[in-house]
Amino acid sequence: MRDAGNHPYDLLTPDVVVAAVESCGFLSDGRMLALNSYENRVYQVGIESASPIIAKFYRPDRWSDGAILEEHQFSLELVREEIPVVPPLQHEGITLFQHAGFRFALFARQGGYWPELATRDDREWMGRFLGRIHAVGRRRTFKERPAYSIERFGIEPREYLLEADWIPSHVRRAYDSVSADVLDRVQDVLESTLTLQLRLHGDCHPGNVLWTADGPHFVDLDDCLTGPAIQDLWMLLSGNRRDMAEQLSQILDGYQQFADFDYRELVLIEALRSLRMIHYAAWLARRWDDPAFPAAFPWFNTQRYWQDRILELREQVALMDEPPLGPV
């Protein structure tokens, strides 16, 4: 791991951020606000006699230029269909810029708040827009973006956690055993389920949606990928089993106005949740040399943290043995 204080983002000073924005033809008024983002660095930058803009600096070495440009192209394709996605701004026909060794993109500032999805109308509204996104997503395929797989989101992250000695020795055997059991069940589910793979938002949780009087606006397609449609639906569900079944039913009522849904994918919900748990722990571990992570996630890698993950994964084993969630 890199030593603390020797991370590439240490070089992303306020002066570099402002200079990067101004290299695209804007004149900054000097105001800058760091926004809540960990994987990348995102800033609101004030512009003279105009609204502020958002500057997103991509984490070095994470994506290829081609993969980032596919993200941008997908956003612009959705916008052409009048789907409320916040696309990258273009300067002289370009959306991906470079300055001082950093790759970055600029976006218009989008107001709004995280949705609670507390009513049937809100859920159907969200479902309609996801159906429209997926209808566009089916038209062509990604060539540079990854595809959802147990290898990428389960097997490789688990191996990294075990081999890099992140897990304390006294709970390592328990994590090894239960995570292996989880992945065996996930593999069985994936092999038995035929799914239509399409271009997805990929990380469609409420934190990546801004709600306004005009409805949802989707932001941050940084994790867009190829996968099953249910990947963009299950993270919007919360509460007990009955609550989630009701929410799912209402989301699908809106979704199916614009796109077909394969109900066989419902068996994937707990499998995808299990993979996200394993992948998330490995993501935190891999980013621990970034000073922003110990500050934001002080509870990570404590004894209690790994004990809780073991309990969660045991619960996932039981949930994957139950009948799949279904709409009501």
**Which residue is catalytic, options 203, 222, 232, 290?**
203
Cα–Cα nearest to 322, from 185, 124, 119, 162? 185
Catalytic residue at 203?
Answer: yes
**Which residues touch 5 (CB under 8 Å, ≥6 apart)?**
291
Helix (H, G, I), strand (E, B) or coil at 31: strand
Catalytic residue at 214?
Answer: no
d(CA 271, CA 183): 8
- With tokens 């065996």, the residue in question is 184
- Bridge partners of 209, per DSSP, are 218
**Which residue is catalytic, options 176, 181, 184, 220?**
220
d(CA 54, CA 38): 15
Q: Extract long-range pairs of 92-99: CB within 8 Å, 24+ residues apart.
A: 95/69, 96/65, 96/68, 96/69, 96/72, 97/20, 97/23, 97/24, 99/16, 99/19, 99/20, 99/23
- Indicate which residues carry an active-site annotation: 203, 220
